[in-house]
Amino acid sequence: MTTTPLEPQEQISEEIARIHKEAGAGQTRPRLDFPPYRSSLLRHPTKQLRMVDPEEVELLAPVFGQSDVDPTEADLTLHPQGEPIGERLVVTGRVLDGDGRPVRRQLVEVWQANAAGRYVHKRDQHPAPLDPHFYGAGRCLTDDDGWYRFTTIKPGPYPWRNHHNAWRPAHIHFSLFGQEFTQRLVTQMYFPGDPLFALDPIYQSITDQAARDRLVASYDHDLTTHEWATGYRWDIVLTGAHATPLEQEADDE
Rounded Cα distance between 173 and 228, Å, is 23
Cα distances from 93 to residues 58, 84, 215, 233, 239, in angstroms, run 28, 24, 12, 5, 16
Rounded Cα distance between 10 and 17, Å, is 11
CB 204 within 8 A of CB 232: no
Q: Dihedrals φ, ψ of 232, to 5°?
A: -130, 140
Write down the catalytic residue from 31, 94, 173, 212.
173
Write down the catalytic residue from 31, 94, 139, 158.
158
Instruction: Give catalytic status of residue 104 as yes or no.
Output: no
Write down the catalytic residue from 94, 118, 171, 214.
171
Write down the catalytic residue from 31, 94, 139, 168.
168
Write down the catalytic residue from 37, 88, 119, 139.
119
Rounded Cα distance between 194 and 169, Å, is 7
Instruction: Give catalytic status of residue 190 as yes or no.
Output: no
Instruction: Give catalytic status of residue 171 as yes or no.
Output: yes
| Count of CB atoms situated within 10 Å of the CB of 146 | 20
- Mind telling me the catalytic residues? 119, 158, 168, 171, 173
